[in-house]
Amino acid sequence: MQKMLPTKPLVKLSYLYLKPSIPSSTNHIILNLHGFLGSKSNFHSINRRLSKAINAHIFTFDLRNHGESELAHPLDYETLANDFIHFLGSNEKQFKNKSIDIIGYSMGGKVALLSSLKLNKSKNFQIRKIISVDMPPYEVAALPAEIYKKVDAIKYINLGAIKIKSNKDGSWKVKLLEMLGPYFTAGFMKVRANYKGGGLVKYYLPLEEFPSLFDDLKDWPVTEEKSNADVLFIRALKSNLIKDDYSLLERNFKRVKVKEFDSDHNILFNNFENSITCIIDFLQDKF
């Protein structure tokens, strides 16, 4: 298959910045990383609550191949982490010697964890706390079943095996929302050609160009680094990602806490109040 996307070791990340209520009185920074096929917009509700509860500079990112950031090969955790670290280094004055917390949901959780290990020996960037929402720092056996199902459906639509016609009134969105739900439909809604008619709808990202996608999302790069950051793992008990043996979380992280919730993997959306309360309490050193 001829690839449409370029291969780039680093890309510039799109981000949204929310200033603290009292900018002159804080060096606290919160960095947010979304999940697979998500974007910085997924953190809007979370950021509203964070900004009210904590006086901090809040940055929310689009990782490569997501949101408004550049589309490029490869799509693996090493590359995602390197993009993120490159952003911090390119904006060193904003982040140097500041108190940095990172919140990562799903895929973003692994990016946060790996980035903290890569930055562990850095003299310029101090990672204070990490919150990984339902994602562990090790290779997982399988992803949530919904991801396999929805990604396969997107590929079939993109290749024309499932035919959904584009049109000017956008009525194709109704069919996609019924089939995929709002989270996975969002990637079709950002393609302008889908609103012009005269063809079949296309997804913004040619997922068929990433044959090892599922394996890459399950992966965890082997590293002997140890992090001194305080780490909270928010575990969704109806998800299969974090194992019962919590000692596995401590291979690379010395200071680990786990909070369990009776939820599926979409915990930030389906159990929002409990999740955001837990996140704020951890960042405020309440447990």
Task: Pull the structure tokens for residue 169.
Answer: 């009134």
219 labelled catalytic: no
Q: Which residues contact 273 (CB under 8 A, 6 or more apart)?
A: none
SS3 of residue 227 by DSSP = strand
Cα of 225 vs its chain's centroid, Å: 22
SS3 of residue 287 by DSSP = coil
**Pairs from 185-189 (Cβ < 8 Å, separation ≥ 24):** 186/37, 186/39, 187/37, 187/154, 188/157
> One of 62, 134, 239, 275 is an active-site residue; which one?
134
The DSSP string of 106-133 is: THHHHHHHHHHHHTTT-SS-EEEEEEEE
106 labelled catalytic: yes
Whether omega for the bond prior to residue 182 falls within 30 degrees of 0, making it cis, is no
166 labelled catalytic: no
Residue whose tokens read 């040619």: 206
> One of 116, 263, 265, 275 is an active-site residue; which one?
265
Element (H, E) at 237: none
> One of 39, 106, 115, 166 is an active-site residue; which one?
106
Catalytic site positions? 106, 134, 265
